């Protein structure tokens, strides 16, 4: 599906088969000399075909296009490597570049998952089903790194890079101040809640995410172009809802610990999830992965707030309420 959003900005809906996200939004800004493609899709056939068909309909040639990736997740980033000719730039956030480029990223995340309660068997299944593991970035090529305050100008638009860590450590939004447009990536979505997961002890995703929500709240925005689902207008209202959501989730994680210490995997099994599955045991391994990552993010936030503390037992990290 392709729609014209506003002058020279188009949205191509790229399908994500079998993924609860359903699709990712790729935005194309057309200009007379160069075009800009914001976010792309997974490195898989279905995404590639939808993208090529969309670009053809719009009369956009890859040789005349540059790319901007809001964050390192494979559904936004991976296809760019396959699409972008050598002569095209791929703008990528400096904050995500270090992590995305790590050869041992999956190995480290797997180790951390084990520390947080995953059995080896479930972990193996979860990793192999993970879209980032299966359809991730494969190419080795140069990226054009951007940071807070950098400007990407295209057509009539002056897009300011705004660091919004949380969903990923280097997540980046693009903001046109005079036109009051925000490309929000997965920082702010209207129909679904951006997932906030923690997969390393040096990450503080929920604390960073809440600060990034506050940062964007003060901006004047009339049109939000998100990474998934519907385009929307009321940014401030959505930010308030997302903040309330995380307050509720943190309370739920605390509630789970009421009867004694749990690791994050066990905590996740006692929280509620918006998934059509009667019991935790029946969750697909990949959903157990996302749920546990979110539980860790909330537990570590509570730890930073002094409400929860952790200890090691039997080689795993356990959390308990501070009495
Ligand atoms: Zn994402």
Farthest CA pair distance, the chain:
64
CA distance linking residue 239 with residue 59, whole number of Å:
36
Distance between Cα 307 and ligand 1 center (Å): 28
Distance between Cα 73 and ligand 1 center (Å): 5
- Give the pLDDT score at 139: 67
Distance between Cα 229 and ligand 1 center (Å): 13
The parts of the chain modelled with pLDDT lower than 50 are none
CA distance linking residue 141 with residue 313, whole number of Å:
43
Distance between Cα 32 and ligand 1 center (Å): 31
Q: Please state the domain extents for the chain.
A: 2-251
Distance between Cα 190 and ligand 1 center (Å): 14
Distance between Cα 220 and ligand 1 center (Å): 24
Count CB neighbours of 45 within 10 A. Answer: 10
Cα dist. 115→120, 136, 279 in Å? 11, 24, 23
Is the pTM higher than 0.85? The answer reads yes
Distance between Cα 78 and ligand 1 center (Å): 12
* 183-195 pLDDT, tens digit each: 999 999 999 999 9
User: What are 220's two structure tokens?
Assistant: 């004047």
Distance between Cα 39 and ligand 1 center (Å): 10
Distance between Cα 167 and ligand 1 center (Å): 6
Count CB neighbours of 4 within 10 A. Answer: 12
Distance between Cα 3 and ligand 1 center (Å): 22
Distance between Cα 253 and ligand 1 center (Å): 23
Distance between Cα 321 and ligand 1 center (Å): 30
Which residues neighbour 301 within 8 Å (Cβ) at sequence distance 6 or greater? 204, 206, 207, 250
Distance between Cα 16 and ligand 1 center (Å): 13
Cα dist. 154→5, 34, 258, 269, 301 in Å? 16, 8, 53, 47, 39
2-251, superfamily in CATH? Answer: Ribonuclease Z/Hydroxyacylglutathione hydrolase-like (3.60.15.10)
Distance between Cα 187 and ligand 1 center (Å): 8
- Give the pLDDT score at 30: 97
Distance between Cα 255 and ligand 1 center (Å): 28
């Amino acid at each position: 599906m392709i729609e014209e959003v506003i002058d020279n900005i188009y949205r191509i809906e790229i399908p994500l088969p079998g993924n609860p996200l359903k699709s990712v939004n790729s935005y194309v800004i057309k200009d007379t000399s160069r075009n800009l493609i914001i976010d792309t899709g997974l490195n898989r056939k279905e995404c590639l075909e939808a993208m090529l068909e969309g670009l053809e309909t719009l009369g956009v040639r890859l040789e005349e296009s540059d790319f901007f990736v809001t964050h390192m997740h494979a559904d936004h980033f991976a296809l760019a490597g396959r699409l972008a000719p050598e002569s095209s730039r791929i703008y990528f956030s400096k904050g995500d570049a270090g992590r995305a480029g790590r050869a041992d990223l999956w190995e480290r995340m797997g180790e951390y998952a084990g520390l947080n309660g995953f059995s080896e068997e479930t972990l193996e299944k979860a990793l192999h089903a993970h879209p980032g593991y299966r359809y991730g970035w494969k190419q080795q090529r140069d990226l054009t790194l951007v940071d807070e305050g950098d400007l990407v100008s295209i057509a009539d638009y002056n897009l300011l890079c705004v660091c919004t860590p949380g969903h990923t450590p280097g997540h980046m939004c693009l903001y046109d101040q005079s036109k009051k447009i925000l490309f929000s990536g997965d920082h702010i979505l209207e129909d679904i809640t951006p997932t906030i997961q923690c997969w390393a002890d040096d990450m503080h995703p929920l604390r960073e995410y809440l600060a990034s929500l506050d940062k964007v709240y003060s901006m004047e925005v009339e049109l939000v172009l998100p990474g998934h689902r519907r385009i929307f207008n009321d940014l401030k209202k959505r930010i308030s809802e997302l903040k309330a959501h995380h307050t509720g989730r943190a309370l739920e994680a605390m509630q789970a610990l009421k009867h004694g210490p749990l690791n994050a995997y066990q905590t996740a099994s006692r929280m509620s999830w918006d998934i059509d599955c009667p019991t935790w045991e029946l969750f697909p391994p990949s959903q157990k992965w996302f749920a546990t990552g979110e539980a860790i993010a909330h537990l570590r936030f509570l730890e930073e707030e002094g409400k929860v503390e952790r200890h090691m037992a039997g080689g795993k990290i356990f959390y308990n309420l501070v009495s």
